[in-house]
Structure 1
Amino acid sequence: MRRIKVSVIVPVYNTGKYVDECAPSLLGQSLPADEYEVIYVDDGSTDDTPARLEKIAAAHPNVQVHTMPNSGWPGAPRNLGMRHAKGEYIQFVDHDDTLGSEALERLYEHAKRNDADVVIGKMSTTMARPRRLFRYTVDACTIENDELMQSLSPHKMFRRAFVEEHGLRYPEGPWIMEDLAFVSAAYLKAERISILADYPCYYWMKRDDGGNNTRHRFNPRHGFWPNLRTIVRQLKDGTTPSDDLDALQNRLLHRLYHVEILSRAREPEILREDPDEQRQRFEAARELVLEEFPAAVRDGLPALSRLRAELLERGDFDGAVTLAQRVREVQARGQIGEPQWENGCLVADVTLDLLRGDGTPLVLVERGGKWWLDPELLDGVPGTEDGWEVRDPFRLAYAELVVKDRDREDWWYPEGDLEVRLRPHGEGRSRLVGSGRLRLDPERLAGGRPLGRGVHDVWAYVQLLGIDRMVRMTTGDGTPGAPAAGPAAGPALTGGRLALPYWTTGRGQLALDLGQRLRRLGPDTAGVAAANAMRGKGSLPLPYVASVDSAPVPVEVRVASLKVAAKLVPGANGTARLRLPARIELPAGRHPVTLPKADTPVAYAVVRDGSLLRLEGPAYEAGTGRRLRDAVADNRQVRRVRRRLGR
């Protein structure tokens, strides 16, 4: 019997059908079945979940099921699973999520190659924005890489000996944020942490019944505030205090301050929840901040976040509401220049900035040698009558492009970085702008591999002044219907597939259709007519289709009323050529050739005796030498001589 490389631990409670939806991804791994085990721990389910689990275990020798009295939270079941685990590594999975088919094999190999204590696999999710943590694969790092704090969910691989050596366990009972406590403790202890970003390992998707959303977070029984205090103290105990804004302890605590504390003082929560209930959360957050968070954490926040923190710490709930109302109206604008194909990549210049609710740019005002926040944004916010100083406009500011695989929910990062800088806006004002160049390589973007067939949308994420937004990359101002839907650049042959860039209907967002998933090569993708010149029997250059050292692409065309299997093949000068078969069973004559879902011909096929004589471009006019040869060929005397010669 082979040694167990990985133990997959899955806590379940009243899961029902979701057990059956998750199980195939666990049992269909590329890692051989006798090299990993799946350990289900049922937390006292009262529905048919136990029966479903026993059925799975009966059919798969590497599956085991354990039961326990209901504890009310995943911590105790995970701990029980660890006690039964025999694998060299432990991978935690929730019962309503799925793994990529090669996840365990890739994670294990990455862990062994780097002797890692913890391996963080790329997550694809509909529950959160893309994490820049997964931009690059990292062989080894430590807690000094504070971007690790972007990922505190338990869905990671841990070396079992490391877990046992340090006595790492989840808090048990109804203990909300048990995953933050376990994972942050592991980060503090780990000597080597690896990140696998070139393969989607874990799919964390929103359930159709909303069951995997954490509800009732502030139920006193769950202990949100005491638990958060415990996690804060754990981070403080494991690091050295410092007044330096960029000291490790302050950088680690920044995540908890920004996400768990300031969420109580900003949109959408402070504007969405019942005001009386939200005031209680606001006061609880204030108490925890004043008692546990060093001043350097607040001082290290970007300008707007620092203003929120100021309002929170002085207990000004109404002021925080007013600020949230102003900031809620701020939108990001993502503009992209005319895309074009360059060395196999779709490239374009991009610009990102922030707009106020009235559609005008959010600006910084220079006064007395200092920068101040846009006064229009601060109208009515207490304590800002004389303005709010922006000590460092670039504090924690960044902008990045991301490409979403619409079918698979995978997010990928194109090559290159965007630069954030101040751009003059007249009269002593400037705006923060992220700018750079999109470089989308369809053959390498997916972790060095080709993107899958389907539609891939281009987005951007910006974090400026403490405002973070996801934004569609459009050719207009981002308002619905701004740019007309249609082709964004000419089609290209890449990796043996057709790549069709286009602007989406309504939003005008840049998208790339690979393999004609939704779009079709037709007159709207052509942009220009096919070449008029005849260059070889049965083949015609299409100058609007770029060829990037690709294999031929099969395409079904219509010649008159007949469907014909044709090919687009790489041609000279970087263009593709349309090639039809030598035999076409049509009457003699000149027949229009149309591409799928198109009405306008891209060529004409000249056919005689069921054979293709040549292709002509649609701009062809009668009266040229080619037409003269046709006339000669139709002369009766010439045909009679040819028959006698056996031709």
Structure 2
Amino acid sequence: MPVYNAGSYIDRCAPSLVNQSLGADAYEVVYVDDGSTDDSAERLERLAEAHEHVRVYRQENSGWPGKPRNVGVDRAKGKYVQFVDQDDELSYEALERLYALAERNGSDIVLGKVHGTMQGPSNVFKRTVERCTAADAPLFESLTPHKMFRREFLREHGIRFPEGRVRLEDQLFMARTYVRAKTVSILGNYPCYQWNRREDGGNNSSRRITADDYYGHLDKVVEAIKEGTPPGDLQDRLLRRSYRVELLRPVSEPRVLRRTGKDLEEYFTTVRRMAMTSYPPGVSEGLPAISRLRAELLVRDRLDSLVELARRTEQIKAHVEVDDMRWRNDKLVLRTRIGMVRGDGEPLTVVERGGRMLLDPELLDGIRGAEDWEVPDPFSYAYGELIVHDTADNHWWYPDGELTPTLEPLGGGRHRVVVAGESVIDPLTLSGDAPMSTGAYQVWGSAQLLGVGRRPRLAPAPGSTRIALGTVAVGTPPRLVSPTWAGPGGPVFGRDAFAIGGNEHVARLSGINVTARKLSLYALTGALSGLAGLMLLSRLSGSSPGTGGLSLQLQAVAAVVIGGTALAGGYGTVIGTALGVVLLGVVANALNLLQVSSNYQSVSVGGVLLIAAIANEMHKARSARH
């Protein structure tokens, strides 16, 4: 661990390092103090005195983490080294699990699942992978050095961190390791590394970054990949990440819309020069449609077109449709589709014209240099998946199942690209090798289509029918799982009331103020009851405390049940309830015309209620089987 003026963060991180499940006799903790001027040295000295497996080295300030990391590798005695930053933490079993995975496979590098306030969901850690390489896994999507490395592998290839103030030093180090590693393993079923954002912003450098400085260092990363791979498809694929994420960033939203004047011109000129000199042609040619268009406009010197394209693509949103949701063998099965819609609410499309597939002409209308932009492969880099967020521990988990890209015809040669498929959430296995812990979980979608990536929360679209499922008990001992619609979509008051009716405990964990909502609901129903009483009074021209109350209560319950709401609470519709009221009114008028006794009328309403309840239960049972 490199240390510089870490202060109290040393004490926050230390327990997670010195108390690993691997056992103090099986590993060492090496601190390298890079000339701290605060009390870090004293804190480290106290740690070393308290723990025999802690060693501390001091050096003059080098200004960057590279040199202290290299010193740590040189002084380390173990077969493997794990890099940790001074404000981060390791989970209790991290080293034990990573070491076991490395030994089992003879790994050069082992990636442990990362979580924390500096890390969002990453499908690099979607599953545990015993053996892979950069050729068959998306390793370049994880370029931080918070990983375990076989020390002899680093020595054999002479791989070290650049020393001094070097931007993108982590990317350079990881690029050199990935292209040379023969076996890489990924531990995806256990969160190992907690990557924390410091409250004082200490993760970020205060030194101003210039375009030439930043992209000069990116050029070294590109050269490292070229040195480690032969020209061709693999090299192009590995370089595509830096082209898409780093090079195109200054000419994409939001950056290109925030910068103006000389600052914008400086970045544009710098990345344009690098695009034309540093990357082989196959890199940009293999990008998805909109990213490839940006690359073309960049090379053609069309900054104005890039700005306008960014304005329009910034307005593109994901449209999620939940086609089906059901319990199957104690697993929650969701069938979803995700597409993209433009700022005007219309689908983002491709259009067949003259035997070619063109990118949405309405999106590109009036953008110079983007006319009739061809899309050779609408499915290039297209993917989709669902992600489950553990809101309490901030972990992201991936259900089984994939969303497959497909073209959906819209007529007139227009098609929309969507990802669709079935995802299976198993409460007993989703969160690695242990059942899901108690708490609230959110389901999100993630899609990359035509070069546009979005991560929407699964929520009912306004006006759509919401599928409702009951609470089930899974596992031994039983755990109650309750799928509940919450989050964006639909009126907030009605959404919260629906969630409370489905499961009050889960609604409270989801952040809903249950007490306040229930008081509001009781006040509303009381006001509506009073209004109904006034209407009845005006009709009868007189009343007593018991007039109509009991009989109308039965009719009200029956109307709601006929409308689809289960007696135990949950899902129903306003239209269905209104139809239930109409049906009961017709039945009541018919019985009055037949001069049926009021007592028998109540029995008939009870019979209708019983039939509706049985029908609802049969429908739920049939849905569960499918």
**Is the contact between residue 341 and residue 348 of structure 2 (CA under 8 Å) also seen in structure 1?**
yes
**Is the contact between residue 460 and residue 489 of structure 2 (CA under 8 Å) also seen in structure 1?**
no
- Partner residue in 1 for 2:18: 27
Deviates most, 330-339 or 78-87: 330-339
Q: Report SS of the residue matched to 1:39.
A: strand
In 1, distance between residues paired with 2:310 and 2:156? 46
Q: Does 1:490 align with 2:470?
A: yes
In 2, distance between residues paired with 1:78 and 1:388? 48
**Is the contact between residue 326 and residue 334 of structure 2 (CA under 8 Å) also seen in structure 1?**
yes
In 2, distance between residues paired with 1:357 and 1:344? 40
5 Å-filtered alignment, 1:219-238, equals 219=210, 223-238=213-228
Cα separation, partners in 2 of 1:507 and 1:123, compared to 1, 3 Å: farther
Q: Does 1:312 align with 2:312?
A: no
Cα separation, partners in 2 of 1:453 and 1:16, compared to 1, 3 Å: same
Deviation at 1:334, TM superposition (A): 1.8
Q: Does 1:366 align with 2:352?
A: yes
Q: Does 1:501 align with 2:501?
A: no
Cα separation, partners in 2 of 1:505 and 1:390, compared to 1, 3 Å: closer
- Partner residue in 2 for 1:179: 170
The structure that is helix-richer by fraction is: 2
Q: Does 1:76 align with 2:67?
A: yes
Q: Does 1:64 align with 2:55?
A: yes
- Partner residue in 2 for 1:252: 238
In 2, distance between residues paired with 1:514 and 1:223? 55
**Is the contact between residue 461 and residue 489 of structure 2 (CA under 8 Å) also seen in structure 1?**
no
Structure 2 counterpart of 1:465, which letter? L
Match of 2:393 among 408, 412, 422: 408
Deviation at 1:180, TM superposition (A): 1.1
5 Å-filtered alignment, 1:445-456, equals 445-456=430-441
- Partner residue in 1 for 2:159: 168
In 2, distance between residues paired with 1:102 and 1:316? 52
**Is the contact between residue 226 and residue 235 of structure 2 (CA under 8 Å) also seen in structure 1?**
yes
Output one character per residue of 1:279-335: Cα deviation in whole Å (capped at 9) or x when no partner. 212211111111110111111101100110011112222221111111100011222
5 Å-filtered alignment, 1:243-322, equals 247-322=233-308
- Partner residue in 1 for 2:450: 465
**Is the contact between residue 499 and residue 514 of structure 1 (CA under 8 Å) also seen in structure 2?**
no
Match of 1:241 among 228, 231, 235: 231
Structure 2 counterpart of 1:379, which letter? D
Q: Does 1:441 align with 2:426?
A: yes
In 2, distance between residues paired with 1:116 and 1:519? 41
In 2, distance between residues paired with 1:134 and 1:323? 33
Q: Does 1:196 align with 2:191?
A: no
TM, length-normalised to structure 2: 0.76
In 2, distance between residues paired with 1:118 and 1:428? 48
- Partner residue in 2 for 1:331: 317
Match of 2:334 among 324, 336, 348: 348
- Partner residue in 2 for 1:93: 84
- Partner residue in 1 for 2:622: none
Deviates most, 109-118 or 451-460: 451-460
Output one character per residue of 1:543-598: Cα deviation in whole Å (capped at 9) or x when no partner. xxxxxxxxxxxxxxxxxxxxxxxxxxxxxxxxxxxxxxxxxxxxxxxxxx99xxxx
Unaligned runs of 5+ in 1: 1-9, 526-592, 595-619, 624-647
In 2, distance between residues paired with 1:515 and 1:491? 11
Deviation at 1:499, TM superposition (A): 1.1
Q: Report SS of the residue matched to 1:339.
A: strand
Deviation at 1:238, TM superposition (A): 1.5
Moved over 6 A (4+): 508-515
In 2, distance between residues paired with 1:14 and 1:483? 55
Match of 2:362 among 370, 376, 379: 376
Cα separation, partners in 2 of 1:138 and 1:297, compared to 1, 3 Å: same
In 1, distance between residues paired with 2:153 and 2:182? 10
Deviation at 1:205, TM superposition (A): 2.8
Deviation at 1:393, TM superposition (A): 0.3
Cα separation, partners in 2 of 1:415 and 1:269, compared to 1, 3 Å: same
Cα separation, partners in 2 of 1:103 and 1:363, compared to 1, 3 Å: same
Output one character per residue of 1:585-631: Cα deviation in whole Å (capped at 9) or x when no partner. xxxxxxxx99xxxxxxxxxxxxxxxxxxxxxxxxx9xx9xxxxxxxx
In 2, distance between residues paired with 1:347 and 1:431? 25
In 2, distance between residues paired with 1:488 and 1:277? 52
In 1, distance between residues paired with 2:55 and 2:242? 37
Report the identity percentage.
Answer: 46
**Is the contact between residue 119 and residue 195 of structure 2 (CA under 8 Å) also seen in structure 1?**
no
In 2, distance between residues paired with 1:514 and 1:198? 30
The structure that is strand-richer by fraction is: 1
- Partner residue in 2 for 1:127: 118
Q: Does 1:147 align with 2:152?
A: no
Unaligned runs of 5+ in 2: 519-567, 570-602, 607-626
Number of aligned pairs?
Answer: 510
- Partner residue in 2 for 1:575: none
**Is the contact between residue 383 and residue 405 of structure 2 (CA under 8 Å) also seen in structure 1?**
yes
- Partner residue in 2 for 1:568: none
Cα separation, partners in 2 of 1:518 and 1:39, compared to 1, 3 Å: farther
**Is the contact between residue 107 and residue 196 of structure 1 (CA under 8 Å) also seen in structure 2?**
yes
Structure 1 counterpart of 2:426, which letter? D
Q: Report SS of the residue matched to 2:77.
A: coil
Cα separation, partners in 2 of 1:43 and 1:470, compared to 1, 3 Å: same
Deviation at 1:252, TM superposition (A): 0.5
